[in-house]
Structure 1
Amino acid sequence: MSKVYSRTDIIDKRQRSQTLVRGLKILELIAGGKSDLSIRELAEEVDLSKSVVHRLISTLEGERYVQKNSGKPGYRLGTKLWWLGCAAVQGLEIKEVARPHLEDLALKTNELVVLAVLDGREVVYLDKVDCPQAVRAYIPIGGRAPAYCISTGKVILAYRRDDEVMKITSSMKKFTSNTVIRMESFKRHLAEIRRRGYSVNFGEWHEDVGGVASAIRDGKGYVVAAIGVTVPIHRLTKINIDRLSRLAMPAAAAVSEELGYGGSQKGASIG
């Protein structure tokens, strides 16, 4: 049943949209080189009242999207925007670099191959290569999954600090009988992933789907993504796990090398 919105709801939505657009215009203005303008001058540039611009700037500053210049008027872009920009560029770079290796891995495994990154408590699938088999797994590009119960998510978490893992997995729930939700067991599981260099999903999110994944590192050795091979659970035999891991690890290593990493896929430092 569709929801009926009142006139007040519609007005509130419009006001929130206007606020967002106004804030973005101020950010674009500062990014365009006008970082020495006072609140009054900013207000004139964006054709808004001084009080509205002051409120917007205060919000942006509080969220670290802008910073007040020291010793002179105006505002500069903040560290939060720098982080977002780096994340966007990095995501595009990884996708472009990884694509031929995804295609090669899909050809060798004859299975669905995915590229995933961590976003909060979930992984997001940046790219994939489907497999031609009649019975196959399906994952949409842009799709999301709980990081703690799929192979790509677990191999990324294996190289995160304990406090970050605790935060991400603080509300784990059991999706299937194979989902690991006890923290001590999960930590041992991550240690095993680091030891062998790949992770396995034994139907821990959806009981009929499993997979194998290996981590991708950037030039500083930080795990930034993962390549995974996703299969129907009946094809996830011990022999096939060995075969898929032997193929996935070199693929991830090749992407890591192109991103500037020159170390081992196993037991790298946690950061």
Structure 2
Amino acid sequence: MDKTLLKGLMVLEAVTEVDHRPRTIEELAARVGLTRSNTHRTLQTLVHAGYIAKDDDSGEYRATVRLFELGARQLARMDVRKLAQPAMRRLAEQSAETVHLSLLDGMEVVYIDKIDSAQPVRAYSYVGGRAPAYAVATGKVLLAHQPEGYIARYADALQPHTPRTIVSMAALEEEIRKIRRQGYAANRGEWRATVGGVAVAIFNSLGQPVAALGISGPLERLTASRMRELAPAVAASAAEVSELMGYRAAAHAGPP
């Protein structure tokens, strides 16, 4: 492991010990076995990153909410895959198409689990694979639930993959509004020309989108009307997983 990263992890662990009280540089240096200057440099890096805050009056350091949020996101990502598997199996049987579970990473989605369709012609993908979020259903539905300004940061990422790929911010923003209205996203040959899909977001107990559940298959089967038919089943499956994640729709009513 990189020495700088190791130092950072050691200091973070020391700052977040169970009594939760702020600590001085001297205490932290003694706790992790580093010199005062090494500890100070590491703390400055962590303060700049937003994971630790310094009290200007006392000179002591404490962990910030951002560190908690990071941990909560990672726990959610680890839990969602296990919790989603029963719903994914049922959706695969009901739709007879490939089922994906995806996470958002910048302007890409990462496939963390999948169940292949039993049909001889099916969508090709693999666990750990990536796709442009703006061109696949799971990605588009997750983008629709991001904070204001999120998409604008990635304006330069919009690149054509097929004639149907959305490549302008105005068109993508209109697509996002449509997804929010209807509650699901559809891909009609925007990443791979002959492949389409339908997806719905999964939420955690805080109402945050942590993943997306979707189906994909060849457009000769997944016609526009077939996608509309399957959308309620996808939504029900995603809602089932969200509930297992602690999400309560009534507590988070309103626009994303």
Gaps of 5+ in 1: 1-13
2:233 is the counterpart of 1:247 = yes
Task: Show CA shifts across 1:42-74 (max 9, x none).
Answer: 333333222111111111111112122465454
Give the Cα separation in 2 of the matches to 1:74 and 1:163: 34
Please list the CA deviations of residues 111-152 of structure 1 after superposition, one character each: whole Å capped at 9, or x if unmatched: 211112222222222322222222222322232221111101
Q: Is 1:262 the counterpart of 2:249 in the alignment?
A: yes
Instruction: Tell me the equivalent position of 2:26.
Output: 40
Q: The residue matched to 2:131 in structure 1 has which SS? A: strand
Q: Which residue of 2 aligns with 1:154?
A: 140
Aligned mates of 1:217, 1:25 — CA distance in 2: 32
TM, length-normalised to structure 1:
0.82
1:40-119 maps to which residues of 2 (within 5 A)? Answer: 40-69=26-55, 72=58, 74-119=60-105
Could you say what secondary structure the match of 1:254 adopts?
helix
- Identify the match of residue 9 of structure 2 among 6, 14, 24: 24
Taking structure 1 as reference, are residues 268 and 131 closer, same or farther at Cα in structure 2, changes over 3 Å only? farther
Q: Is the 8 Å Cα contact of residues 221 and 269 (structure 1) preserved in structure 2?
A: no
The number of aligned residues is: 254
Write the distance in 2 (CA, Å) between the matches of 1:114 and 1:268: 27
Amino acid at match of 2:247: G
CA–CA distance in 1 between the matches of 2:251 and 2:175?
20
Q: Is the 8 A contact 1:125 1:144 kept in 2?
A: yes
Distance 2:26 2:160 in 1: 55
Deviation at 1:261, TM superposition (A): 2.1
Cα pair 1:214 1:227 within 8 Å, conserved: yes
Secondary structure of the residue aligned to 1:132 is coil
Deviation at 1:196, TM superposition (A): 2.1
Matches within 5 A, 1:168-207: 168-207=154-193
Distance 1:219 1:27, change over 3 A: closer
Alpha-carbon distance between aligned partners in 2 of 1:173 and 1:131, rounded to the nearest angstrom: 29
Deviates more, 1:152-161 or 1:72-81: 72-81
In the alignment, residue 6 of structure 2 is paired with which amino acid?
Answer: V
Tell me how far apart the structure 2 counterparts of residues 69 and 107 of structure 1 sit (CA, whole Å): 56
**Aligned-residue offset at 1:37:** 4.2
Structure 2 unaligned segments of length 5 or more: list them.
none
User: 1:215, CA displacement in angstroms?
Assistant: 2.1
Larger radius of gyration: 1
Distance 1:45 1:186 in 2: 50
Query: For residues 83 and 180 of structure 1, what CA distance do their matches in structure 2 show?
Result: 32
CA separation of 1:97 and 1:212: change in aligned 2, threshold 3 A? same
In the other structure, the counterpart of 1:6 is none
Q: Is the 8 A contact 1:66 1:77 kept in 2?
A: yes
Further displaced range: 168-177 or 256-265:
256-265
Calculate the TM-score normalised by the size of structure 2.
Answer: 0.87
Tell me the distance in 1 between the aligned counterparts of 2:70 and 2:164: 35
- Tell me if the contact between 1:159 and 1:269 (Cα under 8 Å) persists in the aligned partners: no
Tell me the distance in 2 between the aligned counterparts of 1:46 and 1:217.
Answer: 37
TM-aligned CA deviation for residue 170 of structure 1:
4.3
Q: Contact conserved, 2:73 with 2:210, CA < 8 A, in 1?
A: no
**What fraction of aligned residue pairs are identical, expressed as a percent?**
37
Give the whole-Å Cα distance in 2 for the aligned partners of 1:157 and 1:209.
20
1:162 and 1:41 map into 2 onto residues whose CA distance is 41
Provide the alpha-carbon RMSD of the alignment: 2.6
